[in-house]
């Protein structure tokens, strides 16, 4: 079964929006950006299997394949944060492809000390993830001749080391669980902070964004498209926090 809807936002940018009944995150594939034989970058691979038994990772593999790519050719896997519904399949991706894993230092520390416990609470195994490098606030350029320029923003609040990824040229913002359509990330999990979330949302709202790709779709199967809609959404969600 395929529970992901594929939306292509640019030459190298595919969103895999989760449309299953249970919980899982949206995933993103940046295809053909790295040098070498494993040129793809995968952001937030999500669950392996969710609370309803939907085979999330299997579905992701299938949709990636339908688009003409292979999980085996992922060279880098990025986690916006370490919650199970974003991070569980990271080790599975690494196992399939030998990809390098990356997240923020803050989130890695949180994961080692506290975040792992989420997994047992959800009845899942915490993946063994050894990040090769840490994603820091600032510019990250990937591939030959800086093929893809990404701005990494540390946006804590939902989780202490949550990152958002901004593709300035394409005006695409990948927000993880900081902001959704009509709502914001929960702050009642360990490590959550409403005041930090508010600051993070303020920062993100200042970017020039045409496509907002949230960690989950509150409007089924969709991302937030169009500058006006994105601006209105920021305006609305700021009233909640």
- Give the nearest distance from C-beta 11 to Zn ion in angstroms: 29
Q: How far is the CB of 158 from Zn ion (least distance, A)?
A: 6
**Distance in Å, CB of 81 to Zn ion, minimum:** 6
SS (H, E, C) 123-140: CCCCCCCCCCEECCCEEE
Q: Which is nearer to Zn ion, 40 or 83 (CB)?
A: 83
β-partners of residue 139 are: 151
Judged by CB under 5 A, does residue 107 bind Zn ion? no
The answer to whether 201 touches 234, Cβ cutoff 8 Å, is yes
Using the minimum distance from each CB to Zn ion, give the nearer residue, 23 or 32.
23
Q: Does 216 bind Zn ion (CB under 5 A)?
A: no
* CB of 33 vs Zn ion, minimal distance in Å: 25
Q: What spatial distance separates the first Cα and last Cα of the chain, rounded to whole Å?
A: 37
Please tell me whether residue 177 binds Zn ion under the rule CB under 5 A.
yes
Instruction: Find out whether 40 and 74 touch, Cβ atoms under 8 Å.
Output: yes
- Say whether residue 47 binds Zn ion (CB under 5 A): no
By the rule CB under 5 A, 83 interacts with Zn ion:
yes
CB of 82 to Zn ion, least distance (A): 8
Candidates 4-12, 34-42, 89-97, 176-184: pick the segment binding Zn ion (CB under 5 A): 176-184
Contact present, 150 and 142 (Cβ < 8 Å): yes
Token couple for 117: 């416990």
Q: Which of 180, 161, 164 is nearest to 172 (CA)?
A: 164
**Chain residues in the site for Zn ion (CB under 5 A):** 83, 177
């Amino acid at each position: 079964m395929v529970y992901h809807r594929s939306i292509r936002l640019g030459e190298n940018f595919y969103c895999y929006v989760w449309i299953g009944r249970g919980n899982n995150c949206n995933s993103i594939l940046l295809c053909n950006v790295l040098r070498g034989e494993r040129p793809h970058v995968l952001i937030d691979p999500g669950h392996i299997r969710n609370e309803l038994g939907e085979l999330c990772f299997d579905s992701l593999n299938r949709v990636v394949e339908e688009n003409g790519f292979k999980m085996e050719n992922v060279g880098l896997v990025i986690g916006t944060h370490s919650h199970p519904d974003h991070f569980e399949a990271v080790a599975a991706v690494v196992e399939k492809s030998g990809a390098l894993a990356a997240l923020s230092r803050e989130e890695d520390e949180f994961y080692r000390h506290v975040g792992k416990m989420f997994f047992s609470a959800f009845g899942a195994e915490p993946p063994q993830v050894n990040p090769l490098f840490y994603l820091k606030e600032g510019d990250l350029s990937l591939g030959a001749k800086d093929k893809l320029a990404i701005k990494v923003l540390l946006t804590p609040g939902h989780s202490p080391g949550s990152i958002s990824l901004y593709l300035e040229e394409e005006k695409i913002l990948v927000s993880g669980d900081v902001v959704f359509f009509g709502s914001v990330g929960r702050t009642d999990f360990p490590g959550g902070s409403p005041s930090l979330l508010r600051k993070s949302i303020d920062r993100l709202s200042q970017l020039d964004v045409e496509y907002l790709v949230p960690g989950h779709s509150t409007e089924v199967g969709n991302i937030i498209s169009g500058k006006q809609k994105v601006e209105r959404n920021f305006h609305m969600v700021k009233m909640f926090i």
